[in-house]
Amino acid sequence: MKPFIEKCAEKGFLFSAIVSASITILILSFMIFFSFPIFKAGDIAAFFTLEWNPYEGKFGILPMMAGTGIIASLALFIATPFGIGCSAIISVFSKGSSGRFLRKVVEFMTGIPTVIYGFVAIFLLVPFIREIFKKGTGMCVLSASIMLAILILPTIVLFLSDAFNSVPKSYIDAADSLGATPAQKLVYVIIPYAWKGIISGLVLAAGRAVGDTLIALMIAGNALQIPTGLDDAARTLTSHIALIIASDYESPEFKSIFLCGLILFAFTILIVLIMRSLGYFKILGKR
Amino acid sequence: MNRFIQYSITFFAWISGIILVASLTLLLAFLIYKGIGSLNLFLIFGETKPMDVLLMRKEVLDGLFPAIVGTILLITASIVWAIPIGVASGIYLAEYCNLRWKPFFNFMLDLLAGVPSILVGLFGFSLSIFLHRHLSEHIYPCFLISSMALACLVLPYIIRTTEQALVNLPFSVKTTGLALGASRLQNILFILIPYNLSRIISGIILAIGRCAEDTAVIMLTGVVAMAGIPHSLLAKYEALPFYIFYISSDYNSQEELMKGFGACIILLAVCAVFFTLANILKRKAEIRFATRL
């Protein structure tokens, strides 16, 4: 091919890569640009207060931060033991047909749309939770956490079973020749070796749990309060963005969603940095 | 470690596996049990005759047809944006990028892949405000903005699979063309890409699946519950996942709810097909490597 075309093609590839990278920068700069009036007015502290009451001019986003924190950590708390259990089956206890079947099932779960999890939860899980608590609508922190746990479980299981499989075969052989049972191998050999992978999988799952919109929006109840119990309704940062979007462009409510966006973006940066410090340089999880 | 603890660890692992499979089965069984009755032509076309709709003589008012068409158009538009940029960036990262710039691109792409989808939606929304103020009064959140935002969402998938497909080639494949006198570009276009095309396509199909299911991005960038088939790029539109979301919070009758379940089954089937297709292609690429190496 002519050198001219070679040069053009190379420039074209470079240009596309710059465009892709600049999308990230563009997202961040739009967040900053639209929340800039808040910083300039100097009333940033007012947004980090407890109360959200537009009629009195109070736009605290602390309830949403609390909602996100509580729902996401509860989901992680529920999903972690199940995740470790399932990945132990896949890579330690059953290398045969049932382990492969379980892995297939988990892989399939990553392909199920989030909105379907939410839809089914409304008519299957929420009435059940309502019966248990005997009050409210059943749309509460607990329902959202359970559903979110199911949503992030595939991320945990796939990441952890890869981490478990990365243990060198010689280690496993050594344990086997000493007569270790699968449970002993898991506790004494595999988990100590793969702890970095385990932490990374959980960090990635935490990122997904915080970033997910639909589950919390559909079944957490969206109440503007700091939840005090499992049966309280709550609102997350993500669902707050989705709910406020329709209002007036110049209002403080509207500016506050960009502040929520900035917080979520900062959290993403944190996740990526943690993943890198643990040795994972190319991260691709489903959001 | 005593016997009892060992047994309980094993027992717990199996129980968690069984609970996972059981809850997924329950979820799917419930969906199919509720929705299977409403799966018929009426669900899609409503009162209108299918032939009239397909020939664009009449509009569907009470069926899923506009939402399905909206989703298909949306996928097509986003993929048209994302494929050229994504594949070209992937080629750049795999073949041209020097070590000085690579960490920067990797970091930016990791961030883009990790940003919550609602932020990508918010980005699309603020882009439309920005364009409305500075470019044209006619720009509101619309089909065009949605497709661009969705393209941003799936771009990392396409870039990473393209990059991986090219980087993981055997050394002999990478160098044979160059040794025979092919230029760098010829080597990429005629040897490297065709060699691992199915892997690249599997990434693209996965991206299509993500476009089909995403709700958070489109609900901020112009999807509405009732719009019909979009007639221009700047029009509002309907989409299947948003329809499901809308029905879940705002159904007036049992009939509407049943339509929601029907829509769920259709969306799930579509996503399952894309997902399976992507996996088959990926496996095919892997098997080919295993046998050739």
* Domains of chain B, start order: 39-292 (1.10.3720.10)
* pLDDT greater than 90 at residue B24: yes
Over 70: is that where the pLDDT of A56 sits? no
Question: Inter-chain contact A257–B122, Cβ cutoff 8 Å?
Answer: yes
Alpha-carbon distance B149 to nearest alpha carbon in chain A (angstroms)? 10
Examine the domain organization and report whether A141 and A272 are in the same domain: yes
CB contact under 8 A, A187 and B26: no
B192 contacts in chain A (CB < 8 Å):
none
Tell me, yes or no, whether A32 and A75 share the same domain: no
A93/A227 same-domain check? yes
Examine the pLDDT at B50 and tell me if it is beyond 80. no
- Beta carbons of B92 and A182 less than 8 Å apart: no
Q: Do B115 and A212 touch (CB under 8 A)?
A: no
The confidence score (pLDDT) of residue A54 equals 61
Contacts of B13 in chain A (CB under 8 A): 85-86, 88-89, 92-93
pLDDT tens track for A108-155: 998 899 999 999 999 999 999 988 888 778 888 999 999 999 999 999
Cβ separation of B97 and A17 shorter than 8 Å?
Answer: yes
Structural domains in chain A (count):
2
- pLDDT tens figures, B109-157: 999 999 999 999 999 998 988 888 888 888 888 899 999 999 999 999 9
Do A67 and A17 lie in one domain? The reply is no
> What integer pLDDT is reported at residue B66 of this predicted model?
87
The confidence score (pLDDT) of residue A210 equals 94
- Distance separating alpha carbons of residues A90 and A110, to the nearest angstrom: 16
Q: Which helix (H) or strand (E) holds A208?
A: helix A195-211
Tokens describing residue A195: 């702890």
Taking the Cβ of residue B181 and every Cβ of chain A, the question of whether any pair is shorter than 8 Å is answered with: no
φ, ψ of residue B13 to 5 degrees: the values are -60, -45
Does residue A128 share a domain with residue A105? yes
For residue A287, being part of any structural domain is answered with no
Q: Give the range among A233-247, B190-204, B232-246 with minimum mean pLDDT.
A: A233-247
Same domain? For A93 and A225 the reply is: yes
In this predicted model, which residue has the larger pLDDT, B289 or A210? A210
Neighbours of B202 (CB within 10 A): 21
Of B21, B109, B245, nearest to A20 by CB-CB distance is: B109
Per-residue pLDDT for A71 more than 70? Answer: yes
Cβ atoms within 10 Å of A62's Cβ, excluding its own? 14
Closest chain A residue to B203, measured at CA: A284
Q: For A102-112, what is the mean pLDDT?
A: 91
* CA dist., res. B126 & res. B150, Å (int): 14
Residue B137: what pLDDT? 80
pLDDT for the residue numbered A53: 64
Residue A274 reports pLDDT greater than 60: yes
Rounded percentage of chain A residues whose pLDDT exceeds 70? 88
- What is the token pair recorded at A183? 């449970």
Q: Give pLDDT, residue A4.
A: 87
pLDDT of residue A286: 53
Is position A286 within any domain? no
Percent pLDDT > 70 in chain B is 97
Mean pLDDT is lowest, of A43-52, B17-26, B149-158, B244-253, for A43-52
Contacts within 8 Å (CB) and 24+ apart, B186-194: B186/A1, B188/B91, B188/B95, B192/B95, B192/B166, B193/B91, B193/B166
Nearest-CA distance B98 → chain A (Å): 11
| Mean pLDDT taken over chain B | 88
| Greatest CA separation for chain B | 75
CA distances from B261 to A96, A152, A190, B244 (A): 36, 23, 43, 8
How much is the pLDDT for A142? 92
Q: What is the pLDDT of residues A162-202, one digit of tens each?
A: 899 889 999 989 998 998 888 888 889 999 999 988 999 99
Residue A23 lies in a domain: yes
Helix axes B117-134, A195-211, angle to 10 degrees: 40
The single-letter code of the amino acid at B73 is L
Tell me how far CA of residue B291 lies from CA of B39, B203, B284, B286, B288, in angstroms. Answer: 44, 22, 11, 9, 5
Which pTM does this prediction carry? 0.90
Q: Which residues of B touch A249 (CB under 8 A)?
A: 129
Cross-chain CB nearest to A16 (options B85, B264, B274): B85
Residue B63 confidence (pLDDT):
80
What average pLDDT does chain A have? 86
Query: Does A148 share its domain with A21?
Result: no
For CA atoms B35, B40, B46, B50, give the dihedral sign: positive
Mean pLDDT of B201-224: 89
pLDDT at B282: 84
**What is the pLDDT, as a whole number, of residue A279?**
81
Q: Which domain does A14 fall in, by range? A: 3-42
* A32-36, A100-104, B205-209: range with lowest mean pLDDT: A32-36
Which residues in chain B are contacts of A13 at CB distance < 8 A?
88-89, 91-92, 95-96
The verdict on A133 and A37 lying in the same domain is no
Please say whether the beta carbons of A71 and A118 come within 8 A. no
DSSP A93: I
Average pLDDT (A51-71) is 78
In terms of Cα–Cα distance, which of A114, A90, A91, A136 is closest to A218? A114
The answer to whether residue A283 is domain-embedded is: no
Quick check: is A82 in a domain?
A: yes
> Does A16 share its domain with A101?
no
Separation CA B17–CA A81 (nearest Å): 11
The confidence score (pLDDT) of residue A221 equals 86
Tell me the nearest-neighbour CA distance from A47 into chain B, angstroms.
19
Tell me if residue A53 falls in helix, strand or coil.
strand
Question: Are residues A199 and A224 located together in one domain of the fold?
Answer: yes
What CATH number does the domain containing A127 carry? 1.10.3720.10
CB contact burial B85-97 (16+ within 10 A = b; e otherwise): bbbbbbbbbbbeb
Do A34 and A154 sit in the same domain of this protein? Answer: no
- Round to whole Å and give the CA distance between A269 and A25: 12
Q: Are residues A70 and A23 in the same domain?
A: no
